[in-house]
Amino acid sequence: MVPRPGAHECGTEATMDLIGGKWKVSLLWVLAQRSARFGELRRALPGITEKVLAAHLREMESGGLVHREAHDEVPPRVEYSLTPLGCSLNEALEPLGKWGREHLLATG
Amino acid sequence: MVPRPGAHECGTEATMDLIGGKWKVSLLWVLAQRSARFGELRRALPGITEKVLAAHLREMESGGLVHREAHDEVPPRVEYSLTPLGCSLNEALEPLGKWGREHLLATG
DNA sequence: CTGTATCCCTCGGGATACTG
DNA sequence: CAGTATCCCGAGGGATACAG
């Protein structure tokens, strides 16, 4: 423990960059529950626009977090799901969620 | 587990708002190592401007993460430190740092 | 249904200078 | 030393329309 200065925040900030988009954490969470289509994601994230949803998905895909699978049908059908990497990131996020629930939402 | 949709990302996003500033995670980390004065923080975070450092500190203070203690001396001396809450948040951030080190920095 | 293409606009952050 | 006061800028997002 107590690694040299830099060891902690370096990894943390690199990670924060990956999920820095406004809706990315939510996206990660939704896809952790079940894979979903573009329209399902849009409905699951009320307020997000198509442009931003598409952009976030592309970024998360290129970051290796999300897998995109296009089925060649009519009407078009595209399934988005979390990669194992995306899954593990979502799990690494859980302590933050727990902290927020305990200290911010203060429901109990 | 598998709480109802919303339970996870809700707390997570609330937390993300707290540390959303560009330098806040670093600030949290630096202050977790030792309390420090304004000038020390500035030097510890090469590239940050005084304006942004001051703004971040004020926000983190009002969020209950940081404690500010002004000593009435000349020259002026102000000590910043982490509150227990700030400390616990820094700890909740550690899994994210570990994840980043393992999957992003890929040093090994 | 699954996206692109534009246009617009806020706001977080940088540069710089100045003050108690 | 520890900040404020201005001015500026670009990126990220929102709204809307259109396309395959």
Q: What is the pLDDT of residue A105?
A: 86
**Given B9, B95, B98, which is nearest A29 (Cβ)?**
B9
Q: Is residue B15 part of a domain?
A: no
Residue B92: give the domain boundaries. Answer: 24-105
**Given A10, A97, A99, which is nearest B89 (Cβ)?**
A99
In chain A, residues 34-73 whose CB comes closer than 8 Å to chain B: none
Q: Is residue A58 part of a domain?
A: yes
Q: Give, in order, the Cα–Cα distances in Å from A62 to each of A58, A72, A80, B92.
A: 6, 22, 13, 27
Q: Is residue B18 part of a domain?
A: no
Q: How many domains does chain B have?
A: 1
Q: pTM of the full predicted structure?
A: 0.91
Q: Is residue B33 part of a domain?
A: yes
Q: Write out the E strands in chain B.
A: 36-37, 66-71, 77-82
Q: What is the pLDDT of residue B5?
A: 45
Asked if strand C comes closer than 7 Å to A68 Cβ, the answer is yes
- Distance from C-alpha of A45 to C-alpha of A24, rounded to nearest angstrom: 10
**Given B11, B18, B104, which is nearest A15 (Cβ)?**
B104
Q: CB A99 to CB B15 under 8 A?
A: yes
Q: Is residue B5 part of a domain?
A: no
Asked if strand C comes closer than 7 Å to A74 Cβ, the answer is no
How big is the A-B interface in CB pairs under 8 Å?
A: 128
Q: What is the pLDDT of residue B4?
A: 43
Give the chain A residue whose CA is nearest to the CA of B16. A96
Q: Is residue B47 part of a domain?
A: yes
Report the CATH number at residue A91: 1.10.10.10
Low-confidence ranges of chain B (pLDDT < 70): 1-8, 107-108
Asked if strand C comes closer than 7 Å to A20 Cβ, the answer is no
Q: What is the pLDDT of residue A106?
A: 75
Query: Among residues of chain A, what percentage have pLDDT more than 90?
Result: 87
- Distance from C-alpha of B34 to C-alpha of B68, rounded to nearest angstrom: 13
Q: What is the pLDDT of residue B99?
A: 97
pLDDT in tens, A32-56: 999 999 999 999 999 999 999 999 9
Task: Say whether residue B98 is in contact with chain A using an 8 A CB cutoff.
Answer: yes
Q: Is residue B1 part of a domain?
A: no
Residue B49 and residue B78 in contact, taking contact as beta carbons nearer than 8 Å? no
- Distance from C-alpha of A22 to C-alpha of B105, rounded to nearest angstrom: 23
Q: Is residue B43 part of a domain?
A: yes
**Residue A3 above 50 pLDDT?**
no
Helix, strand, coil percent content, chain A, rounded in steps of 5: 60, 15, 30
- Distance from C-alpha of A16 to C-alpha of A18, rounded to nearest angstrom: 5
Residue B99 and residue A89 in contact, taking contact as beta carbons nearer than 8 Å? yes
Asked if strand D comes closer than 7 Å to B20 Cβ, the answer is no
- Distance from C-alpha of A78 to C-alpha of A69, rounded to nearest angstrom: 6
Q: CB B10 to CB A100 under 8 A?
A: yes
